[in-house]
Amino acid sequence: MLFQGFLNLNKPFGWTSHDCVARVRKLLHLKRVGHAGTLDPAATGVLPIALGKATRLLQYLPGEKAYKATVRLGVRTTTDDLQGEIITSQPCTGLNLAEVKTALSQFEGKIEQIPPIYSAIQVEGKRLYDLARQGQTVEVPVRTVEVFHIEILDWREGDFPELDVAIACGGGTYIRAIARDLGAVLQTGGTLAALTRTQSSGFYLANSLTLNELEAQLQVETFQPTTPDVALQHLPSIQLPTTSAQKWCQGQRIPLNFDVYGIVRVYEDTHFLGIGKLQDEILIPQMVFEPIS
């Protein structure tokens, strides 16, 4: 069976995003498999995976993400999480939740963030984590990211107090960097102790599948990928009459007077054809997913 669409995968601890893609490719006997939004090996949770021609639709998924994170204070590490070497470790028993709340408020809204030196960001064509492992010192570019909301879920006192938070944010936000920078503001040091992505690109943890669950569904032939129509429902849609739809699928631009501009889903009746761009009352093909037969 040829699968086309999206898999909402619950990534296991210790697996890289590439490991997950390789496993899904093998299970589904499918060459074209890709993922949206890399997750660190130590993180778990939602990893959207595109199957078949849907890999070309990854760029059109929504960018919002949400996480449940545990920050450990009093500790700094090389990777800004517990997978790295400890740089400093100093008990901070005098710290209280009120101080933490005040400091945490600085990380909502649009903020300037320096990604961890162990990250997949490229500098001059090379991944930062490769450069860091080679012992090279590079200047990590500052980026502007947006954090929509941070909610404190739990606070555990002790020599190295821990804070559980729920974070809703835009794409490109590093939760490890928030943990590190929160520790810097509090002058205690901080690192990420645990991370689960609860939402990514329109997919939610509640209806995700583990690799074992995916394999079980495949064995009894009940697995159904999420269709592009569902995954891209945040985009406005346009229906074309059959004649115009055929021309559009052949790469022709279609004159169209419509009150929406930008990226849209394109249909012929209820048949999803692909992605177009409305500009100056012209519908321009961007990606033809399923031409009219």
List the catalytic residue out of 40, 80, 81, 181.
Answer: 40
Measured distance CA(75)–CA(87) in Å, rounded: 8
Token reading at 124: 């001059």
Closest CA to 47 of 26, 24, 31, 69: 24
Please indicate whether residue 40 is annotated as part of the active site: yes
| CB distance 267 to 249 below 8 Å | no
Measured distance CA(275)–CA(238) in Å, rounded: 10
**What DSSP character marks residue 20?**
H
Query: For residue 93, what are the contacts with CB-CB under 8 A and spacing of at least 6?
Result: 157, 158, 159
Q: Which ranges of 126-272 would DSSP assign to H, the alpha helix?
A: 128-133, 175-186, 211-219, 228-231, 242-249
- The residues carrying an active-site annotation are 40
